[in-house]
Amino acid sequence: MVGKVEERRKDLRDRLIRIAERHIEEEGLSAVKARALATEADCSVGAIYNVFDDLQDIMIAVNGRTFQSLGAHVAKALKGKTNLPPTDRLIVMSHAYMDYAALHPNLWRALFGLRMSTDMQVPQWYLDELARLFGYISGPVSECFPDFDAEEVDLMTRTLFSSVHGIVLLGLENRISAVPEAQLEYMIALLLRSATQKKN
Amino acid sequence: MVGKVEERRKDLRDRLIRIAERHIEEEGLSAVKARALATEADCSVGAIYNVFDDLQDIMIAVNGRTFQSLGAHVAKALKGKTNLPPTDRLIVMSHAYMDYAALHPNLWRALFGLRMSTDMQVPQWYLDELARLFGYISGPVSECFPDFDAEEVDLMTRTLFSSVHGIVLLGLENRISAVPEAQLEYMIALLLRSATQKKN
DNA sequence: TGTACATCAGTGAACGCGCGTTCACTGATGTAC
DNA sequence: TGTACATCAGTGAACGCGCGTTCACTGATGTAC
């Protein structure tokens, strides 16, 4: 029965992560507060510090889950589309990316908004997930540019990802200058078609 | 001599804006603190509230100056380049944009990081400056795509701006994944050439 | 020019709030014998 | 199985800090006569 205690620790960790996730989703990163978490998790404030180093630790854990679900979302959109031309696959992925961002804007922003303090290394899973996302993209990219070497493919991959990210970011941000989602999708497709078109 | 008092008010306003600007430039938006400003401006904390509604007011004022200087930076880079092909002019502008962001990362971030509270309208000068920046871009864009109507040009303008913005953002952010500036410039040029190249 | 008065810039201590984190304590769980 | 003991999860009041904003007060500046 050594596991009984360990099990409760894990359970509390999980509950706290879920609650923090909901708070971030609803009100952003700054909505992660010790007292609120404790109340909702039905534990004391101090208990949080038994299973996490500090609040930032929880935010990182939430970002981990977000990365997973973002990846799954993109993968799902791509399912059964493997025989589409590469440009179209890029478009499908980008639309899925935008879709996810629109569906969970605060979780999505949290991925980029969590300032890692300078002394702390970026956690390994973060780099792994990033590599996995880029892996999705670099396949179609190298198909679009058959005469590119690996380095050029990598560069183009980053370029296209950053561009799509920028479009989604400014598009979803400015609710004032109000670009409807359908138009964002169109902008993305426009860019990707222009950028990957064969220039004979 | 009615102006004596008015003059001192304006002087204090100006001094506070400069000081806030320096703080933002050095440590980001959150470095704007009432007590620090007062100490450096050699006035009392309360005096700040005589010339500004609140601290956010000062940040908005700083963003105003930043917008001006960003615009000037781009305009300067463009000077004497009016006879370049449109794609090259877009590249020059984008490089100037990146250049400014790299030179003043915190001021640049502050432009986008200042969450306007939902009840407050976006100030008019903000929209004006944005329109002015987009004006620089839409000229070359419509040259690149002569058969686009105004709406399509506008869309492409936003698309390209957002894309370049995204490249600069992620490029300068991840000091870890460390993309050197020269490579960023290359990425931008790559994207713009691909996106604006004549097809067929 | 001189005097009385009004205005309002300027002051800075104090208010008020939010919040992360700690710590002395308690009691449940698990272990040793 | 039973008892004494050790460990450590769990508690929540209290600490400590940062900070925006206010407000009763003062004194300089400008006005009216």
Contact flag, residue B26 CB and nucleic strand D, below 7 A: no
Strand C proximal to A193 Cβ, under 7 A: no
In whole angstroms, what is the distance from residue A120 CA to residue B172 CA?
18
Q: Which of B49-58, B107-116, B157-166 has the lowest mean pLDDT?
A: B107-116
Q: pLDDT band for B194, please (50, 70, 90 cuts).
A: confident
What CATH number is associated with residue B126?
1.10.357.10
> Between the CA atoms of B145, B146, B150 and B155, what dihedral angle is there, to the nearest 10 degrees?
0
Mutate to test the interface with B, among A194, A196, A198, A200 (most CBs of B within 10 A): A194
Q: What is the reported pTM?
A: 0.92
Tokens at B173, concatenated:
């952010």
Contacts 24+ apart (CB under 8 A), A84-89: A86/A139, A86/A140, A86/A141, A86/A143, A86/A144, A86/A196, A87/A140, A87/A144, A87/A192, A87/A193, A87/A196, A87/A197, A89/A139, A89/A140
- pLDDT band at residue B184 under the 50/70/90 scheme: very high
Q: What was the pLDDT predicted at B4?
A: 74
Kindly state whether residues A48 and A140 are assigned to the same domain: no
Q: Is the CB of residue B9 less than 8 Å from the CB of residue B51?
A: yes
| Under 8 Å between Cβ of B94 and B164 | yes
Q: What is the pLDDT of residues B61-80, one digit of tens each?
A: 999 999 999 999 999 999 99
Which pair of tokens denotes residue B10? 């304006």
Shortest CA to C1' contact from B45: nucleotide:
C12
Q: How many other CB atoms sit within 10 Å of the CB of residue A47?
A: 16
DSSP label at residue B52: -
Q: How far is CA A166 from CA A60, B175, B185, in A?
A: 23, 18, 16
Q: How confident is the model at residue A199, as a pLDDT?
A: 52
Q: Give the phi and the psi of residue A6 in degrees, each rounded to 5.
A: -60, -40
CA distance A65 to A13: 13
pLDDT tens track, chain A, 200 positions: 456 778 889 999 999 999 999 999 999 999 999 999 999 999 999 999 999 999 999 999 999 999 999 999 999 999 999 999 999 999 999 999 999 999 999 999 999 888 766 556 667 877 788 888 899 999 999 999 999 999 999 999 999 999 999 999 999 886 445 678 899 999 999 999 988 876 54
Residue range(s) defining the domain that contains residue B12: 1-52
Residue B35's CB: how many other CB atoms inside 10 A? 10
Are B155 and A191 within 8 A, CB to CB?
no
CA B90 to mean position of chain CA atoms: 17
Residue from the list B162, B194, B197 with its beta carbon closest to the beta carbon of A171: B162
For residue B171, how far is the Cα from the chain centroid? 17
Q: Do B163 and A163 touch (CB under 8 A)?
A: yes
Q: Are A170 and B173 in contact (CB < 8 Å)?
A: no
Q: CB-CB: which of A158, A171, A187 is closest to B187?
A: A158
User: For position A3, what pLDDT does the model report?
Assistant: 67
Q: Is the dihedral of CA A123, A127, A130, A136 positive or negative?
A: negative
pLDDT over 80 (residue B126): no
- Partner residue facing A187 (CB), from B159, B165, B187: B159
Q: Do residue A146 and residue A114 come from a single domain?
A: yes
The distance of A159 to chain B (nearest Cα, Å) reads: 6
Asked whether residue A48 falls in the same domain as residue A58, the answer is no
State whether the beta carbon of B35 lies below 7 angstroms from any atom of strand D.
yes
Q: Which residues of B touch A161 (CB under 8 A)?
A: 170
Between CA A65 and CA A19 the distance in angstroms is 13
Q: In the structure, how far is the CA atom of residue A1 from the C1' atom of nucleotide D2, in angstroms?
A: 19
Is the pLDDT confidence value at B154 over 50?
yes
Residue B5 shares a structural domain with residue B73: no
CA A8 to C1' C28, whole Å: 13
- Give the nearest partner residue to B163 out of A130, A166, A179, using CB atoms: A166
Angle between helices A181-196 and A150-173 (to 10 degrees): 160
Residues B41 and B64 in one domain: no
* Substitution target from B127, B162, B174 for chain A, most A beta carbons within 10 A: B162
Q: How many CB pairs (< 8 A) connect A and B? A: 89
B137 and B157 fall within a common domain: yes
Does one domain contain both B91 and B182? yes
3-state helix, strand, coil split of chain A in percent (to 5) is 80, 0, 20
Based on the domain organization, do B173 and B119 belong to the same domain?
A: yes
% chain B with pLDDT above 90: 76
Number of domains into which chain A is organized: 2
Residues B64 and B41 in one domain: no
* Of the candidate ranges A95-109, B12-26, B107-121, the one whose mean pLDDT is the lowest: B107-121
Q: Are B163 and A162 an interchain contact pair (Cβ–Cβ within 8 Å)?
A: yes
Looking at B13, B34, B52, the residue that finishes a domain is B52
Q: Is the dihedral of CA B109, B113, B114, B118 positive or negative?
A: positive
Chain A residue numbers touching B158 (CB-CB < 8 A): 170, 179, 187
Alpha-carbon distance A117 to B177, whole Å?
16
Give the pLDDT score at A200. 44
Residues A33 and A106 in one domain: no
Query: pLDDT at residue B175 above 80?
Result: no
Query: A98 and chain B: CB distance < 8 Å anywhere?
Result: no
Alpha helices by DSSP H, listed for chain B, are 3-27, 34-41, 45-51, 55-78, 86-103, 105-113, 124-144, 150-173, 181-196
Name the closest nucleotide to A49, judged by C1' and CA: C21
- Assess whether A4 and A88 both reside in one domain: no
Q: Do A134 and A186 share a domain, yes or no?
A: yes
